[in-house]
C-alpha cells in the first residue's frame, strides 16, 4: 500500500506575476510503506518544494496529496495531525535548536502533543539512541556540541515524534565524510529498526546508491525517474545530460568495460566494486594457472 501518493500535483510560485515559476509540475507518484528513498536532482529541480507538500507545509496550486489514502487538504483543520504523521527535517536543522539542554530540545515535540512525562522520557531516550547520542549528552547544552552532534539532536527531535514518514532534506550538508557516513548509517539503522518510510534528499549520488533502496530523480520540476537504484543509475547518459553524475565507482566500471575488460558495468557502491574486482582477479588467476599447466 502506498503511504504517499500524489495526483497531478502542481505548485507555482508567484502565480500571475512576472516572476511566476512552476516548481512542481503535474507529478504523479506513489511511495510504498517501509521504503528508503533517495531524492536527487540539480538545484532548482523541485526536490525541496515536493517534499514540503508531503506534510502540508505547502498547499498545492493544483492536484492532490494523499497520506495513507487520505487527501491531506480535504479538511484543512486536520493539517496539524499530518505534520505529526510526516516528520520533516530541514537542511541545517541544528540552527533551530533553542532549549537549555539536549533532553529538552528532543522532548519539545512530544511535549507539545500532550504526552505523559513517562512517555516523553521513553521517546527522548529512544530517539537519542537511534542517532547515536550518549545518555550523558542529554543534560548538556546543545550549543556545546559539535556540528555533527547538533545535527543528530535536531534529527532526534523529529524521530521522537515517531512519524510514520521521516523526510530529511540534505541531512549531511556541510559535514565531513566521517560525519556524513555516521549520520547516514544511523538513519539506515533507524529505518531497519522501525520499518517506516524514510525519504532522503541528497546531492550525493554515492550516498543514495549506498544507503537507499530506490531513487526519485527530479528534473525541471517533473519526476524523471522513480525506480530501484540499479534501474535509475543504469541511465548514465540521461543523468549526465541533466547535470547529475552517477556514482564515481560506476563511471570507473563503465570505463573498464569500454576498454574491453569483462566486468559488470552496473556497479553502484564501493563494496560492490570490490567484490567485482575480486571475482575478476580470481578468474584471471584461474586462467593464468590453466595456461601454465598447459
* Position with higher pLDDT, 250 vs 159: 159
Span of 9-18, 39-48, 153-162, 275-284 with lowest mean pLDDT: 275-284
* Cα distances (angstroms) measured from residue 11 to each of 50, 52, 70, 236: 9, 11, 19, 29
Name the region of 173 (left: φ>0; alpha: ψ -120 to 50; beta: rest).
beta
Superfamily for 2-246? Answer: P-loop containing nucleotide triphosphate hydrolases (3.40.50.300)
> Where exactly are the structural domains of the chain?
2-246, 247-294
| Spatial distance between the Cα atoms of 226 and 215, rounded to a whole number of angstroms | 6
Please check the confidence at residue 293 and state whether its pLDDT lies above 60: no
Q: Encode pLDDT of 131-188 as tens digits.
A: 999 999 999 999 999 988 999 999 999 999 999 999 999 999 888 888 889 999 999 9
CB burial class (10 A; 0-12, 13-18, 19+) of residue 68?
middle
Q: What is the pLDDT of residue 197?
A: 97
Chain centroid offset of residue 91 CA: 11
Local confidence band at 288 (pLDDT 50, 70, 90 cut-offs): low
Average pLDDT over residues 4-26: 94
| Spatial distance between the Cα atoms of 102 and 124, rounded to a whole number of angstroms | 10
Strands 36-40 and 197-201: parallel
| Residue entry with cell 574491453 | 260
Looking at the chain, the whole-number percentage of residues with pLDDT higher than 90 is 63
Amino acid at each position: 500500500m502506498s503511504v504517499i501518493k500524489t495526483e497531478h500535483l502542481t505548485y507555482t510560485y508567484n502565480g500571475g506575476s512576472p516572476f511566476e515559476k512552476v516548481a512542481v509540475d503535474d507529478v504523479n507518484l506513489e511511495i510504498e510503506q517501509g521504503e528508503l528513498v533517495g531524492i536527487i536532482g540539480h538545484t532548482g529541480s523541485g526536490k525541496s518544494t515536493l517534499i514540503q507538500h508531503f506534510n502540508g507545509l505547502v498547499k498545492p496550486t493544483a492536484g492532490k496529496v494523499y497520506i495513507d489514502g487520505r487527501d491531506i487538504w480535504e479538511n484543512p483543520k486536520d493539517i496539524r495531525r499530518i505534520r505529526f504523521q510526516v516528520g520533516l527535517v530541514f537542511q541545517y536543522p541544528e540552527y533551530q535548536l533553542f532549549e537549555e539542554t539536549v533532553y529538552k530540545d528532543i522532548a519539545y515535540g512530544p511535549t507539545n502533543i500532550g504526552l505523559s512525562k513517562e512517555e516523553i522520557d521513553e521517546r527522548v531516550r529512544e530517539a537519542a539512541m537511534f542517532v547515536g547520542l550518549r545518555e550523558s549528552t542529554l543534560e548538556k547544552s546543545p550549543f556545546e556540541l559539535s556540528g555533527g552532534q547538533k545535527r543528530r539532536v535536531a534529527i532526534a527531535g523529529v524521530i521522537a515524534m515517531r512519524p510514520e514518514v521521516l523526510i530529511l532534506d540534505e541531512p549531511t550538508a556541510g559535514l565531513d565524510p566521517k560525519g556524513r557516513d555516521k549520520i547516514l548509517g544511523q538513519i539506515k539503522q533507524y529505518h531497519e529498526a522501525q520499518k517506516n518510510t524514510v525519504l532522503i534528499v541528497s546531492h550525493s549520488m554515492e550516498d543514495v546508491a549506498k544507503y537507499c533502496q530506490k531513487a526519485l530523480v527530479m528534473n525541471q520540476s517533473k519526476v524523471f525517474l522513480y525506480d530501484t537504484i540499479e534501474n535509475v543509475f543504469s541511465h548514465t547518459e540521461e543523468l549526465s545530460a541533466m547535470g547529475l553524475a552517477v556514482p564515481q565507482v560506476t563511471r570507473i566500471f563503465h570505463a573498464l568495460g569500454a576498454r574491453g575488460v569483462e566486468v559488470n558495468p552496473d556497479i553502484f557502491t564501493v563494496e560492490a566494486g570490490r567484490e567485482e574486482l575480486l571475482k575478476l582477479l580470481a578468474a584471471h588467476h584461474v586462467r593464468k594457472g590453466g595456461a601454465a599447466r598447459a
